[in-house]
């Protein structure tokens, strides 16, 4: 499928989705439409087990909403629902943050399951919307608090802080920081290892964890119970036990 604002490459069960509106990779109506269509297709594609989301160009991942596209803000896919979809996606989504990750770009990164960041001079992450007299409107307030706790999230958002990679790593806003030239190679190594894991089990873990976070531990445990019972009947479960007995690495097929 062709996209006007994205590049999508699939290889070895990994889809690399690149926001392609350099130098800012800002989010406009066309990008929201493309992201919606791309994640629809990737969810159905059995050849995709992991998604890596990154930005085109040398400056950064995403500078947030395209201020020149405000007239189209109410049109097309709703950004909150789109980011919710990514947050709840049944396949792991890794954000490879190649520079500035600000405003709506930070909110998009927060919706991903993992955040890896480039340790470069332009690399900053945060939600500075209060400087403009507005708030992070695409889920950043909720997800920042969920990830970091209320006091720290409030400080970052209320004071419009733009964190360096080292600062973001220290407080847990990102999980890994890579040196210049190492972001994509490091991210892809992680993605390849993740793609080898049993895809049905991975999806079940994501589903159960999301249920617990959003609805409470009892709902999460109910989801875990259902998923666990279903997985015991799969080919992947039989392969996993057989590989364990034969002392070899399992080869999972997602069946």
**Which are the catalytic amino acids?**
107, 129
Which residues, 6 or more positions from 101, have their beta carbon under 8 angstroms from its beta carbon? 60, 61, 62, 95, 109, 117, 123, 124, 125, 126
Q: Could you give the CA distance from residue 157 to residue 176 in angstroms, rounded to a whole number? A: 22
Q: Which residue's entry shows tokens 């201020």?
A: 67
Helices (H) and strands (E) in the chain, counts: 10, 9
| Tokens describing residue 243 | 């590989």
| Tokens describing residue 236 | 């992947």
Of 114, 113, 110, 112, give the one whose Cα is nearest residue 126.
110
- Could you give phi then psi for residue 6, rounded to 5 degrees? -130, 155
Q: Could you give the CA distance from residue 227 to residue 199 in angstroms, rounded to a whole number? A: 13
Please state, in angstroms and as integers, the Cα–Cα distance from residue 148 to each residue in 30, 96, 169, 170, 235, following that order.
32, 20, 12, 11, 38
Please state, in angstroms and as integers, the Cα–Cα distance from residue 133 to each residue in 124, 136, 152, 156, following that order.
20, 10, 20, 15
């Amino acid at each position: 499928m062709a996209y006007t604002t994205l590049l999508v490459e699939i290889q070895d069960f990994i889809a690399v989705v690149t926001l392609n509106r350099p130098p800012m990779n800002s989010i406009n109506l066309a990008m929201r439409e493309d992201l919606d269509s791309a994640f629809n297709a990737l969810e159905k594609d059995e050849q995709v087990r992991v998604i890596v989301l990154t930005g085109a160009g040398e400056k950064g991942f995403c500078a947030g909403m395209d201020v020149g596209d405000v007239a189209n803000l109410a049109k097309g896919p709703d950004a909150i629902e789109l980011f919710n979809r990514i947050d709840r996606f049944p396949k792991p989504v890794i954000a490879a943050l190649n520079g500035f990750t600000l405003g709506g770009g930070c909110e998009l990164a927060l919706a991903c399951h993992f955040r890896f960041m480039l340790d470069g001079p332009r690399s900053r992450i945060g939600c500075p919307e209060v400087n403009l007299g507005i708030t992070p409107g695409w889920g950043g307030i909720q997800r920042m608090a969920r990830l970091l706790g209320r006091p720290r999230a409030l400080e970052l958002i209320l004071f419009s802080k733009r964190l360096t990679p080292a600062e973001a790593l220290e407080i847990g806003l990102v999980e890994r920081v890579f040196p210049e030239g190492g972001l994509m190679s490091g991210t892809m190594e992680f993605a390849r290892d993740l793609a080898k894991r049993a895809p049905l089990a991975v999806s079940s873990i994501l589903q159960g964890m999301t249920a617990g976070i959003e609805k409470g531990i009892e709902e999460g445990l109910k989801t875990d119970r259902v998923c666990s019972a279903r997985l015991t009947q799969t080919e992947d479960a039989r392969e996993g036990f057989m590989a364990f007995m034969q002392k070899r690495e399992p080869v999972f097929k997602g069946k």
